[in-house]
Structure 1
Amino acid sequence: MDFLQLAKERKEELVQDIKQLIQIESVLDEGSKRKDAPFGEGPKKALEWMLEKASKEGFKTKNVDHYAGHIEMGEGEEILGILCHVDVVPAGGNWTYPPFEGVIKDGKLYGRGAIDDKGPTMAAYLAMKMVRDAQIPLSKRIRMIIGTDEESGFRCMEHYFQKEAMPDIGFAPDADFPLINAEKGIALLEFTQQSTLSEEEQLVSFQAGNRHNMVPDLAKAVVKNVSSDFEEKFYEYFKQFGEEVAFAREEDRVIISVTGISAHAMEPEKGKNAAVMLAKFLNLHLTTESSKAFVSFVEDAFSDVYGKALGLDYADEMSGQTTLNAGVVSFDAEKGGNILVSMRYSVTYPYEEKIQMAKELLKNSSFSLHVVSNSSPHYIPEDDEFIQTLLKVYRRYTGDDRKPLSTGGGTYARTLKKGVAFGSLFPGEPDVAHQKDEYVVIDNLVKAAAIYAEAIVELAGKK
């Protein structure tokens, strides 16, 4: 079966489906959540759109309490899971094209979710349709499981698997080819300032970021009682780096901001953390105790994304460096400082030992460490038959013999006993997930759909 040719013939169908899904602004909205919309209206609408579409096109569907749902075909006791998500991170600013339209330009489809994960979701759905329409007999049930809270903690999957069966094997089209068999652990760390605040604090407020899994691309601070040449020093400092900045006065206060570059928390080194940039400048000019302690801590602890200053650094051969992303950084004159950090730690990381070491180091500082949540690393050996089958399919379509990868990202694959991330980014493609002007290369997504169809047949077709 020439799935690549079949996918090419259905390219326009794929594109239109992605555009429609992107036009649903499915960002977590805690303010509008309710029993039938646990993560807000947007994620609920995106899930319903997927299930209604699949139902009309002849698939079995199920909505599991609006947390997640599934689309199913085939027969058998065993289940091959394809785990996707339709929620997205906030768009942020400065897009060239509207983030929720699905603009096509030069073979790319732009929009929030184009590559993470609405484009790959629709490619996997097309794969299911191609296998069904080819009337290929299946020995397993093929179940596409669609989540609505992947970007904010997997609560959708936790609820889903309390009600529904765990697939025997599965893949998540939410990362890179050839496949990812090692996912780092993901811990959410909260650093809280303990020092007593003075009414004379120079730092009135500081705010950067709104998601711990994104590098903040904008930081803003309000300060008072600064030197007369503060404005001159501000522009002089950032001129050397060529950063986009803003300066304003409001009565006796000064409002300053700096723009960085956003990136996914799994690769914070690819971004420029605006919180760290602004803290470095303020550390040169603030002198009141708690204000100085806050900006000093932000600079010292997070200028290095590998956690050395906190004793959290570690690396191994199978999954690489541990990284820390200070994603939400705030200070106010009444509560002090608070920093939410996404730590992506190596597969063999001595977790308890390292966390305790960091807590000990902080005893001499004005900050304390609290672990908000922790998801252990996920690893499937390369020689597993399931891994080898997926690699065989990928190599058949690409001629690329490279070995499996590791990631600091967390995909739904880690919720399965035997699951991996499988595409849809091909080697050499830039990963623009969580960034402004996120896009997917349409022809590459067509090829991914063909690979997914072939994988379904190899893993679940009757022999």
Structure 2
Amino acid sequence: MGPTSSREQIEAYVNEVWPDYLRDLERLVAVPSVVDESASAPGAPWGPGCREALDVAMDIAERQGLIVGDCDGALAYGDLPGETGEQVATIAHVDVVPAGEGWDVEPFAVTRRDGVLLGRGVLDDKGAAVASLYAAGYLARRATSGRPFRRSLRCLLGASEEAGMMDVRCYLASHEPPSFLFTPDAEFPVCCGEKGCVNAEVSHAVDLTGVIASLSGGVARNAVPARAEAVLRVDAQELPAAEGIDVVSSGAGASRVVAHGVAGHAAEPAGATNAIGVLASYLLGLGCLRPSEREFVSLCKRAVCAWDGSGLGIEASDELFGPLTCVGGMLWTREGRFALTLDVRLPAAASVEGVCSGLERAGLEHGCEVLITHTRQTFSTDPGSGEVMTLRRAYKEFSGREATPFAIGGGTYAHHFPSAVGFGPLDRSEPLPDWAGPEHGPNEGVWEHQLKRALAIYIRALEGLLA
């Protein structure tokens, strides 16, 4: 294919096409592409918004010189054929979460403010999707002026990432995976691993004559709850005061105990305070619980007293993934049982089977039933592989910083493929202003210069991967 491009050539291209890039990003952000399977139709399984976003993205891909394809609306792609059938791929997504409340700007438009781009999807993941297509456009220009690259390139465009990634499942049911893939739906420098996952429900029959009438708390299984409460068959005046606890009378002989914590994500619980643990500690301190109630509440305390799983004896850690995390996310009373959900994210040093056994063992110790509801094996790609080193070099060249690989507790498209990593576009070394929000939040924002730099990095990385 000839020599690689100079840094000056790549940066000149990025500056040349940037006005067009912004116009295309504006077109894509303007589409409220929230998954709506209730409105699915032939060619639009995720609803009309996602179908429209795929059409816009396919138009961008075609104008970049790619050969476009459509997998019945579940997913689309743009191809740059090479000399061989060996394929490298990128995968970004054009669906978004709902706008929600709290915006200071129009969610479905791109607003430029003090070097920041604001709008739903500018970071997650439409900005990166357009960048991947423009990077491929640069390579398509090179290919028309010389021999094709050795490997072929496919830019995959998902449309239900935010709703379970069924798009990529549909794709892989009828297509071979690429030899290597990166998803620009993560952070720089390079994410080489995703923790495994065990989700479980721990439950115990309610004592109908007991002290606790009901338990509740949390808003999501994958979040550290900031609030939990118990309705007790105890007069409020008989209950002691405690830090983080509000006691409210619910009439003669009844009270409501509300515990307060600090919310956080289950993938990063350090620094959060689990309100379920605050509530469990308070209830156990009363000394009046019935035996069955005491067993369930004790297990709750063990499960959430330490976010590293040490309370249940399942702690583990390794260099790439860091420590195991264990979060009790939701507490409820239903169908005659008290129940607690557990979200465990595990490093390679732990096994799904070992964590499941540890949870079941702890449940037995307290007379509780443990139901495993979901598991996912730990995923990683060798940080020293040739492909990953190509990405690391590209990042260092355009950022000036070392590209130290890392792992995350969440999940991306990468774990669906045999050899894949997450690769930008977010660079947390440059925090956003306070008025700009994160992905999924109001005023979702990204530094414009970070997207420009990401485009340059993707060009250099793909140039190396396809050679």
TM range (shorter): 0.7 to 0.9
Q: Say if 1:310 and 1:115 are closer, same or farther in 2 by CA, change over 3 A.
A: farther
Deviation at 1:248?
A: 10
Of 126, 129, 134, 2:134 maps to 126
Separation in 1, partners of 2:384, 2:62? 38
Deviation at 1:145?
A: 1.6
Q: How do residues 102-113 of structure 1 correspond to structure 2 at under 5 angstroms?
A: 102-113=110-121
Aligned with 1:237: secondary structure? coil
Partner of 2:427: 426
> What whole-Å deviation, never above 9, does each CA across 1:150-179 have from its counterpart, x for those lacking one?
345433222211112211111111222221
1:50 aligns with 2:57: yes
Q: For the pair shown, which has the larger CA radius of gyration, 1 or 2?
A: 2
Partner of 1:450: 456
Length-normalised TM-score, structure 2: 0.80
Of 157, 167, 176, 2:187 maps to 176
Partner of 1:242: none
Separation in 1, partners of 2:98, 2:299? 27
Separation in 2, partners of 1:35, 1:339? 40
1:183–1:347 CA contact under 8 A, matched in 2: no
Aligned with 2:173: secondary structure? helix
Separation in 2, partners of 1:204, 1:174? 41
Gaps of 5+ in 1: 240-244
Of 197, 202, 210, 1:192 maps to 202
Q: Say if 1:324 and 1:228 are closer, same or farther in 2 by CA, change over 3 A.
A: closer
Partner of 1:206: 216
Identity among equivalent positions (%) equals 25
Of the structure 1 ranges 134-143 and 428-437, higher mean CA displacement relative to structure 2 is found in: 428-437
Structure with bigger RCO (C-alpha 8 Å, 6+ apart)? 1
Deviation at 1:183?
A: 2.7
Alignment RMSD: 3.9
Q: How do residues 34-433 of structure 1 correspond to structure 2 at under 5 angstroms?
A: 38-39=45-46, 43-55=50-62, 59-76=66-83, 77-89=85-97, 100-133=108-141, 135=144, 137-185=148-196, 187-198=197-208, 202-204=212-214, 206-210=216-220, 212-213=221-222, 215-216=223-224, 219=227, 221=229, 223=231, 225=233, 227-229=235-237, 233=241, 237-238=243-244, 260-263=262-265, 265-269=266-270, 271=272, 273=274, 276=277, 289=290, 296-327=298-329, 329-426=330-427, 428-429=429-430, 432-433=438-439
For these two proteins, the number of residue pairs brought into alignment is: 449
1:237–1:281 CA contact under 8 A, matched in 2: no
Aligned with 1:6: secondary structure? helix
Gaps of 5+ in 2: 433-437
Separation in 1, partners of 2:392, 2:115? 27
Separation in 2, partners of 1:26, 1:341? 31
1:206–1:220 CA contact under 8 A, matched in 2: yes
Separation in 1, partners of 2:30, 2:224? 24
Aligned with 1:124: secondary structure? helix
1:15–1:442 CA contact under 8 A, matched in 2: no
Deviation at 1:405?
A: 2.0
> What whole-Å deviation, never above 9, does each CA across 1:251-308 have from its counterpart, x for those lacking one?
9885968584443x33222555555556666666796657766655444312422111
